[in-house]
Amino acid sequence: MEKLDASLAKRSHCPIATTLDVLGDKWTLLIIRDIGLFDKHKNKDFQEAEEGIPTNILANRLKELVSNGLVEKRLYQNNPPRYDYYLTDAGRGLLPVLKSMATWADEFIDGVNIPKFDG
């Protein structure tokens, strides 16, 4: 399995700090969730999510996810260019973490609705 670039460690080489440097904003894990757990791949699919990500932030996060090696984009239309987004091995490696987060929230936060996940 190919590892991601060491330059992603911005503050220190602590694995938790580095992970937060890559994933620590409020949108990145939701995009990974949508691709990996809910089989969403198109820009419009992400925009339709309940959380309402602004289009400029979505474009920025998708670009960062591709640059960081967590997501790959695949051209599906030439004019204008449009892309589908898929998790890389590194991105798929986050799915058990997301499922654990959902389970934790279901156990400890009142009113959370844990979804049914694919796979």
20 alpha carbon, distance to own chain's centre? 13
Look at residue 95 in the predicted model and tell me its pLDDT. 95
Q: What is the mean pLDDT of residues 13-29?
A: 84
What pTM did the predictor assign?
0.86
CB 22 within 8 A of CB 70: yes
Residue 118 pLDDT class (50, 70, 90 cuts): low
Topology given in CATH for the domain delimited by 11-108: Arc Repressor Mutant, subunit A (1.10.10)
Whole-number Å distance between alpha carbons of 99 and 103: 6
Q: Mean pLDDT, to the nearest integer, of 17-28?
A: 85
pLDDT of 9 higher than 70 = no
Q: What's the rounded mean pLDDT across residues 34-47? A: 94
Q: How many CB atoms lie within 10 A of CB 97?
A: 13
Is 90 exceeded by the pLDDT of residue 63?
A: yes
Q: Which of 44, 82, 90 minimizes the C-alpha distance to 65?
A: 90
User: Would you kindly state where each structural domain of the chain is located, as residue ranges?
Assistant: 11-108
Tens digits of per-residue pLDDT, 81-103? 999 999 999 999 999 999 999 88
Q: Which of 78, 80, 46 is nearest to 63 (CA)?
A: 46
Overall residue count recorded for the chain in this entry: 119
